[in-house]
Amino acid sequence: MKFELSERLNKLPVYLFAEIDRLKQEIRAKGIDIISFGIGDPDLPTPGAIIDILKKESEIEDNHRYPSYEGLLKFRESAASWYDKRFGVSLDPETEVLSLIGSKEGIGHFPLAFVNPGDIVLVPDPGYPVYNAATVLALGIPYFMPLEEKNDFLPDFSKIPEDVFKKAKLMFLNYPNNPTSARANRDFFKEVVKLAKKYSIIIAHDFAYSEVYTAGNPTESFLSVPGAKDVGIEFHSLSKTFNMTGFRIGFASGSEAIIKGLGTVKTNLDSGIFQAIQLAGAYGLDNELGAVKENNKIYKKRRELLLRGLKKLGFHVYNSDTTFYVWAKVPKIGLSSKDFAVSLLNDTGVIVTPGSGFGRHGEGYIRFSLTLSEDRIKEGLERMGLRQFT
C-alpha cells in the first residue's frame, strides 16, 4: 500500500541536522573517531543546583500530573523577573510570558496562530531552518531576506519591495544570530519597530543565544526598544543559558495579544512542560546567572583557539563575539559548502555544518560550533591541517 505525504511536507527540505546525524553514523560505523563541530549542543554540564531542584521536585506527586498549558506561574514570574533584571523590560508574568517546550517548539507553532494561506513571512537567509519550515507548514509564503557579510549579516530592508512589505504578516529575526554569530544593536531594532508599525507586521525575535557573548559586552533585547512590545514577541531558551538542551524548556515574552494567539495553538496541540523541569528552570533564572559568566569564559578560550587555528589554515572568519558558533568561508578549492563538509568528514572525521543548509545565501560558508573541549578543538585543527586548502 502506497502512502503519499502531504504537499506541505513535500515542500520541506531535508532537515539539515538530521542529515548530518545520518552521515555521522555512516562514518562512525567505519570505526573512524569523529570530532564534531556540527550541532550546537552544549557539552558543559547543567549547574548542579538546578539538577538538585529537579530531583527534589520530581519526587513530589503533584508534579506528576498534567501541567498547565501556559506554564507554572512561578516559572513565568521568574522569567519576568529575569527580563527586568537583565534587560530592564517589564513583563506581566500572567499575560506576557508563556512557557515553551524549548524555543524551537514555540517558533514552529507560531505561524499557525497568525499566518493564513498565501500570507508572506519574511525569513532571514541564512537562518535557522525552522523559520522556513514553520512558514511552509502554516501554508504561508516565505520571502527570504539575504543576510550578507557586507551588511554584518543584518537584512537590508531597503532592498525589500514595498508590495512585499504590504503583504507580509510576520517577520522572523534572530540576534545573536545562528548561524553567522552576528549581533544587532538598538538602532537596528528601532528600525524594525518602525517597519512593523508602518506595515502591521508581527515581529518574532529568536533570542535563544542572548546569554552567549564572549567579549564581556552583553547583548540587547528587541523588547527593550520602545514600542517593541506592541508589535512582537521574543523567544528565549534555557538550553544555551544553562546548558539544558535535553530538558526542553524555554519561554516566549512580549505582546499580550500575540502571546495569547500562540497560547491558543499550544492549548490545542500539547500539554505543557513537566512541572519539576519548570521549577528547576525557575531556580536557574533566579539564582544561577553566575553560570552564564563561567560558560562564556570557557567559550571565549575555545573561540580564540579555533580562530587562531583556522586563520593559520587560511580560512576567512567572520569576526564576532556572540553565540558559540564561528562562521567561516569555504576555502577556495572549488567545492560547495556541502561537498566541502562531506569531503572533510570522509577525509578527516571532522564534522562542520555547511552554510547551504541554512539557506541559499549561506552557500560559500561553513559553521563551526564551540561545544567541544579545547583538546578536541586542537585535534580537529591538526586533522584539518593535514589537508591542503587551495
* 26-70: pLDDT as tens digits: 888 888 899 999 888 999 999 999 999 999 999 999 999 999 889
Give me the residues paired with residue 142 across strands.
121
- CA 375, 380, 383, 385 torsion: positive or negative? negative
Q: What's the grid cell of residue 147?
A: 543576510
Contacts of 14 (CB under 8 A, 6+ apart): none
> Between the CA atoms of 145, 148, 152 and 153, what dihedral angle is there, to the nearest 10 degrees?
40
DSSP 179: T
State yes or no: pLDDT of 88 exceeds 80.
yes
Question: What is the structure's pLDDT at 114?
Answer: 98
* 116-173: pLDDT as tens digits: 999 999 999 999 999 999 999 999 999 999 999 999 999 999 999 999 999 999 999 9
Q: What average pLDDT does the chain have?
A: 94
Domain with CATH 3.90.1150.10 in the chain: 7-45+290-385
Question: What is the structure's pLDDT at 11?
Answer: 87
State yes or no: pLDDT of 18 exceeds 90.
no
Distance, CA of 9 to CA of 3 (rounded, Å): 13
Q: Beta-carbon neighbour count of residue 197 at 10 Å?
A: 12
The arithmetic mean of pLDDT across residues 109-115, rounded, is: 98
Contacts 24+ apart (CB under 8 A), 190-199: 190/225, 190/226, 191/157, 192/222, 192/225, 192/228, 193/225, 193/226, 193/227, 193/228, 193/231, 195/157, 195/165, 195/171, 196/171, 196/231, 196/232, 197/227, 197/230, 197/231, 198/165, 199/165, 199/166, 199/168
State yes or no: pLDDT of 389 exceeds 70.
no
CA-based radius of gyration for the chain: 21
State yes or no: pLDDT of 390 exceeds 80.
no
Q: Which CATH number fits domain 7-45+290-385: 3.40.50.300, 3.90.1150.10, 3.40.47.10, 3.65.10.10?
A: 3.90.1150.10
Confidence of residue 321 (pLDDT cuts 50, 70, 90): very high
Percentage of the chain exceeding pLDDT 70: 98
Confidence of residue 324 (pLDDT cuts 50, 70, 90): very high
Distance, CA of 159 to CA of 179 (rounded, Å): 22
The arithmetic mean of pLDDT across residues 58-87, rounded, is: 95
Question: What is the structure's pLDDT at 388?
Answer: 66
The arithmetic mean of pLDDT across residues 252-266, rounded, is: 97
Question: What is the structure's pLDDT at 30?
Answer: 84
Question: What is the structure's pLDDT at 268?
Answer: 93
Question: What is the structure's pLDDT at 46?
Answer: 96
Q: What's the grid cell of residue 144?
A: 527570504
In this structure, what are the phi and psi dihedrals at residue 37, rounded to the nearest 5 degrees? Answer: -100, 20
Complete DSSP assignment for 355-370: GGGG-GGGTTEEEEE-
Distance, CA of 209 to CA of 239 (rounded, Å): 9
Tell which phi-psi region holds residue 99, choosing left (phi > 0), alpha (psi between -120 and 50) or beta: beta
The arithmetic mean of pLDDT across residues 250-275, rounded, is: 96
CATH class for the domain made up of 48-288 = alpha beta
